[in-house]
Protein backbone atom coordinates (compact mmCIF):
# COMPACT_ATOMS: atom_id res chain seq x y z
CA UNK A 1 0.00 0.00 0.00
CA UNK A 2 1.32 3.47 -0.91
CA UNK A 3 0.91 6.38 1.47
CA UNK A 4 1.34 9.96 0.28
CA UNK A 5 1.10 12.91 2.64
CA UNK A 6 -1.18 15.80 1.70
CA UNK A 7 1.66 18.26 1.00
CA UNK A 8 3.27 15.90 -1.50
CA UNK A 9 -0.05 15.24 -3.21
CA UNK A 10 -0.74 18.98 -3.39
CA UNK A 11 2.69 19.67 -4.91
CA UNK A 12 2.22 16.93 -7.50
CA UNK A 13 -1.26 18.17 -8.46
CA UNK A 14 0.12 21.72 -8.88
CA UNK A 15 2.94 20.30 -11.03
CA UNK A 16 0.41 18.65 -13.34
CA UNK A 17 -1.62 21.87 -13.57
CA UNK A 18 1.53 23.79 -14.52
CA UNK A 19 2.42 21.26 -17.22
CA UNK A 20 -1.02 21.80 -18.76
CA UNK A 21 -0.34 25.55 -18.94
CA UNK A 22 3.03 25.28 -20.68
CA UNK A 23 2.16 23.19 -23.72
CA UNK A 24 3.82 25.71 -26.07
CA UNK A 25 6.90 26.16 -23.91
CA UNK A 26 9.94 24.05 -23.05
CA UNK A 27 11.82 23.91 -19.79
CA UNK A 28 15.30 25.34 -20.06
CA UNK A 29 17.89 25.65 -17.35
CA UNK A 30 20.88 27.96 -17.20
CA UNK A 31 22.80 30.08 -14.72
CA UNK A 32 23.04 33.85 -14.58
CA UNK A 33 25.23 36.31 -12.76
CA UNK A 34 23.70 37.16 -9.36
CA UNK A 35 23.43 40.86 -10.21
CA UNK A 36 21.67 40.01 -13.50
CA UNK A 37 19.13 37.88 -11.62
CA UNK A 38 18.56 40.71 -9.13
CA UNK A 39 17.98 43.24 -11.92
CA UNK A 40 15.72 40.81 -13.82
CA UNK A 41 13.62 40.09 -10.72
CA UNK A 42 13.27 43.79 -9.86
CA UNK A 43 12.23 44.61 -13.43
CA UNK A 44 9.79 41.70 -13.51
CA UNK A 45 8.25 42.77 -10.19
CA UNK A 46 7.89 46.41 -11.29
CA UNK A 47 6.42 45.62 -14.70
CA UNK A 48 4.53 42.46 -13.68
CA UNK A 49 6.01 40.77 -16.76
CA UNK A 50 7.13 37.20 -16.01
CA UNK A 51 10.90 36.81 -16.16
CA UNK A 52 10.48 33.97 -18.69
CA UNK A 53 8.79 36.40 -21.11
CA UNK A 54 11.54 38.98 -20.59
CA UNK A 55 14.14 36.31 -21.33
CA UNK A 56 12.20 35.19 -24.46
CA UNK A 57 12.32 38.71 -25.87
CA UNK A 58 15.94 39.28 -24.84
CA UNK A 59 17.18 36.08 -26.50
CA UNK A 60 15.27 36.75 -29.73
CA UNK A 61 16.52 40.36 -29.85
CA UNK A 62 20.08 39.19 -29.25
CA UNK A 63 19.92 36.62 -32.06
CA UNK A 64 18.29 39.15 -34.42
CA UNK A 65 21.03 41.72 -33.71
CA UNK A 66 23.94 39.27 -33.76
CA UNK A 67 23.48 37.06 -36.84
CA UNK A 68 25.89 34.18 -37.42
CA UNK A 69 28.39 35.03 -40.15
CA UNK A 70 28.97 32.29 -42.72
Q: What is the pLDDT of residues 22-45, one digit of tens each?
A: 678 888 899 999 999 999 999 999
Its domain, for residue 54, covers 31-70
- Domain presence at residue 40: yes
Our separate counts of H helices and E strands in the chain read 3, 0
- Domain presence at residue 16: no
What is the rounded distance in angstroms from the CA atom of residue 67 to the CA atom of residue 42? 30
- Domain presence at residue 51: yes
Q: What is the reported pLDDT for 32? A: 97
What is the rounded distance in angstroms from the CA atom of residue 68 to the CA atom of residue 70? 6
pTM score over 0.85: no
Of 17-21, 49-53, 66-70, which range is least confident? 17-21
- Domain presence at residue 47: yes
> How many CB atoms lie under 10 A from the CB of residue 12?
11
* Mean pLDDT, residues 38-53 taken together: 96
What is the rounded distance in angstroms from the CA atom of residue 37 to the CA atom of residue 45? 12
- Domain presence at residue 8: no
Q: How many structural domains does the chain have?
A: 1
Confidence of residue 47 (pLDDT cuts 50, 70, 90): very high
Residues 6+ apart with CB under 8 A from 12: 4
Amino acid sequence: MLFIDNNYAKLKSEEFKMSDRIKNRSRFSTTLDKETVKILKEYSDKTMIPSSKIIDVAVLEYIKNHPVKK
